[in-house]
Structure 1
Amino acid sequence: MKKIYLLLAILVFSLVLPALTTGASAAESTTSGTIVIALDLAHGQSSKLVSDLVNLSVPGVVFRVFGTYEGLESLGDTIASDALSGVDVLIFGEINKPLSDEEITAVKSWLDQGNKVLWIAGDSDYGDSGVARQEQANMLAERVGTHLRIDLVSVEDPVSNCGAGYRVAAVVPDEAPELVKLGITRPVLSHGPGVVAYVDDNGNWKSLKLGEATYPDNVFPLLATTANGTIVNNNDPEGNVYEIGDTGRFPIVAAEKLSSGSIVIVSGASPYGDYEPFIATEYYGVALDGPRFVENTLTWSLVEAGIIKVLLTAEDESGDELYQYPTNEVFVNGLFDLISFAVFDDGTNYIFKIGVKELGDNPWNGPNGFSLQYFTIYINTKDGGNTSGVPGSNIQISDDLAWEYAITITPGWESYIENPNSGNGPTALWLADGTVKTGIITVSASDGSDTVLVSVPKSELGDLENAGFIVTLGGHDGFGVKGYRPVSTEAEEWKFGGADSDWIIKDIAPRVVDVLPGGKDVLKPVEDKMPVLKEAVPKKAAPAPTGGLSPAIIAVSIIVIIIVAGIGVYMATRKE
């Protein structure tokens, strides 16, 4: 009988505890500390527009380089395991100089650790070295274990282009992940691109033409031609799967999630270097969303690889703003048009990403990377809280969305944060009781992608898993009303126009120009009162990690294990 009880105790431990610990680790999908993206410039790549790439608003990252680039820390001239030890994302622009066998082995070992991102950029078959670059990319892709390849052809688009068919104005397809599509309204340059294909486990090449091919569940199209895409062949050999004259939506960028949890991105053109990379903002008169595409792709890959966590994403497609812009030339169209919002968790910080139609080139050199906007994020986490807008905004929040935290994001001139409750509007965290905290928020902006990143320690905000968010945008003016740019009935050089005269007389004209969610209609005063914002962006329910259990269930289950095991041991050892 003693043996039976003892075996029972051991059985409980061996069967239940592993399941619990597996669930706990599966739920741990974020990483603490700085995320490192390494760019390869050690294999003959051009450094064209690297400066634009490293200034993108990718949550929580720093950039390093293999090779040399002014301003970036070098990891060496050779890709080795020790140099990769702290790297989360490795990007190969088009490879002109072959990697050594030792370098490829190091990359594969690094990728096999899981929760890594590898981007392999190829090229078209154009020119004396086009096919060689394709083959270099494919050799690396094969060795690291992805099924994705660059077929040995080129694709052109006679309709959607930047002045010539080979200057493809590619699009983010509807089939792409939502985070990749976020805020993108314009095409992306793909200068003389190759086409991505799939090689199955038997070595058979398969088409990934959108609308015809069936994609495996772990393969994602990220960028493609329009339906007018046309396959061409500039040099022998012919393609493995795509034939000359084929038309349709051909993938230029695709990604595969490996069994290790790592992500491999393969592209027929490059995010940097190249003749003209993806990241271009304009080409031959065509306005482009290249920076936002590269930024979104990197952000999505970090989330998909489990390096960071996304809490929500939202878009505003209304394109409407409440007021006419001031008449000074710095106020270009789109400055006060919110188009996207997202919240990320990197394990240590919450990172808020705000997208606008146009950030404005920072004409007065604001330290935070912009000069003209005043953003506020209101956060509702529970009942109660504050229903007033931040000073100067002239808005109210509905009772059911009363905020516990408000984050104000302004250009960041130091003199403007000395008196947070008066003057010019600080970059600060506001608590519902009126407390204002400065110096704890990190802000950066990318004029290329027209996005602003705001990082706040998680310890300051608590759990935001089920929070509601309201994002407002006004004009920043150091000589305005608590940092907000004034409004009037008619637009003036430094004032917004279009307010009703009664709003001005009664001081109920909102100084907020756009809000997400809702748009301009929810900003209009009603019945001689300031506008009350009644909508928030809720968290989108994230899928539970496979096998994951809540901390409460784990805790209770462990207690039960201890009790059962204790009884078993006691019954096994007591005297008959």
Structure 2
Amino acid sequence: FLPGLFDLTSFRVSYDVEYVYFDTTFREVTNTWNAPEGFSHQLINIYIDTTKGLGRTDTIRKGAMVAFDKRYGWDILIKALGWGGCRAFTSNDDEEAKGISDGLEAGVLPDGKTVRVKVPLPIIGQPEASWGYYVLIGSQDAFGDDDFRPVMEEASSWTFGGGSNLEFSPNVIDMLAPEGGRFSQERLLGSYDAGKGILAVLVPASAGMARRGVALFGLSSTPMIIVTVVGLLLVGGAVVVWIRRKGFGVPPG
């Protein structure tokens, strides 16, 4: 795989009167296998905590091999992949649920690096600054659990390296998280305990800053005027988090 395909560099949320737009930007996006959505490799799962005190702490299906902080349970899942389109799920769905696909679309923006997922506004409602986002990036594998390609200790023809061969190791390659501190990607994804059968527990990107009154996401009613900034600095009313990654080996070829 081309280096950078799974390196998430920014995440933006915006909306208009018809749709909510989720923009995930990567260092590289290619469409080697001519996927209808315009990207062949990335698997994007966006879990959204919309309602305080509600939601669930597990994924709908086994695949990502992570769990979510019980204080910030997710209420809505947006799943996007190049093969199979986009679907929205709710926390009430079970593993057999098909999700909602009507009106959802994904495609690559003209910059060639941003995958935009558009979701009809009535499905999830108007985004609020209090919402929390778990943005999980995997490698799409049609034969993998919940479409995730496994991340093992060593890379092989069909698996990534840099993880662990233990059953409870995450298959998430990148995620939205602050660059450092207790909520960094390394600390969250490394919080699993295979011996005790405990999955890594994640927190949404906004949760770590809530107590300090810092908003991590800017919302705009017009996608064209979203302000993108870097770091954890408040500029123009919008904040985007730096992404910090641990090293992963890629399958040969």
TM-score normalised per structure 2 = 0.71
Alignment-derived partner of residue 508 in structure 1: 168
Alignment-derived partner of residue 90 in structure 1: none
Asked if structure 2 preserves the Cα contact closer than 8 Å seen for 1:513 and 1:520, the reply is: no
Asked if structure 2 preserves the Cα contact closer than 8 Å seen for 1:509 and 1:525, the reply is: no
What secondary structure, in the 3-state scheme, does the structure 2 residue paired with 1:482 have?
helix
What secondary structure, in the 3-state scheme, does the structure 2 residue paired with 1:459 have?
helix
Q: Deviations over 1:461-490 (max 9, x none)?
A: 023213111111000011222211122221
Q: 1:378 to 1:488 in 2, by over 3 A?
A: same
Q: 1:515 to 1:541 in 2, by over 3 A?
A: closer
- Kindly state the Cα deviation for residue 349 of structure 1 after the two structures are TM-superposed: 0.7
Q: 1:429 to 1:541 in 2, by over 3 A?
A: closer
Aligned with residue 199 of structure 2, among 503, 527, 530: 530
Alignment-derived partner of residue 343 in structure 1: 13
Q: 1:411 to 1:490 in 2, by over 3 A?
A: same
Give 1:8-87 correspondences, 5 Å limit. none
For the residues of structure 2 that align with 1:441 and 1:431, how far apart are their CA atoms? 15
Q: Structure 1: any 5+ residue segments left out of the alignment?
A: 1-330, 414-425, 544-576
Q: 1:476 to 1:378 in 2, by over 3 A?
A: same
Alignment-derived partner of residue 38 in structure 2: 369
For the residues of structure 2 that align with 1:480 and 1:530, how far apart are their CA atoms? 18
Give 1:147-296 correspondences, 5 Å limit. none
Aligned with residue 157 of structure 2, among 482, 493, 498: 493
Alignment-derived partner of residue 54 in structure 2: 384
- Kindly state the Cα deviation for residue 541 of structure 1 after the two structures are TM-superposed: 6.8
The aligned length equals 196
Aligned with residue 66 of structure 2, among 395, 398, 402: 395
Alignment-derived partner of residue 107 in structure 2: 444
What secondary structure, in the 3-state scheme, does the structure 2 residue paired with 1:477 have?
coil
For the residues of structure 1 that align with 2:16 and 2:126, how far apart are their CA atoms? 13
For the residues of structure 1 that align with 2:154 and 2:218, how far apart are their CA atoms? 44
Asked if structure 2 preserves the Cα contact closer than 8 Å seen for 1:508 and 1:525, the reply is: no
Q: 1:447 to 1:358 in 2, by over 3 A?
A: farther
Structure 1 counterpart of 2:149, one-letter code: R
Q: 1:479 to 1:524 in 2, by over 3 A?
A: same
Across the aligned residues of Structure 1 and Structure 2, the Cα RMSD in angstroms comes to 2.0
For the residues of structure 2 that align with 1:342 and 1:437, how far apart are their CA atoms? 22
Alignment-derived partner of residue 238 in structure 2: none
Q: 1:471 to 1:445 in 2, by over 3 A?
A: same
Q: 1:540 to 1:477 in 2, by over 3 A?
A: closer
Alignment-derived partner of residue 519 in structure 1: 185
Asked if structure 2 preserves the Cα contact closer than 8 Å seen for 1:369 and 1:446, the reply is: no
Q: Give 1 or 2 for the bigger CA radius of gyration.
A: 1
For the residues of structure 1 that align with 2:10 and 2:176, how far apart are their CA atoms? 8
For the residues of structure 2 that align with 1:397 and 1:404, how far apart are their CA atoms? 11
Q: Deviations over 1:374-398 (max 9, x none)?
A: 0011111112111112421111111
Q: 1:541 to 1:428 in 2, by over 3 A?
A: closer
- Kindly state the Cα deviation for residue 524 of structure 1 after the two structures are TM-superposed: 1.8
Aligned with residue 79 of structure 2, among 392, 402, 408: 408
TM-score normalised per structure 1 = 0.33
Asked if structure 2 preserves the Cα contact closer than 8 Å seen for 1:403 and 1:432, the reply is: yes
- Kindly state the Cα deviation for residue 540 of structure 1 after the two structures are TM-superposed: 4.6
Aligned with residue 117 of structure 2, among 438, 444, 454: 454
For the residues of structure 2 that align with 1:487 and 1:384, how far apart are their CA atoms? 31
Large movers: runs of 4+ above 6 Å: none
Alignment-derived partner of residue 142 in structure 2: 478
Q: 1:532 to 1:374 in 2, by over 3 A?
A: same
Percent sequence identity over aligned pairs: 30
Alignment-derived partner of residue 101 in structure 1: none
- Kindly state the Cα deviation for residue 352 of structure 1 after the two structures are TM-superposed: 0.8
Alignment-derived partner of residue 432 in structure 1: 91
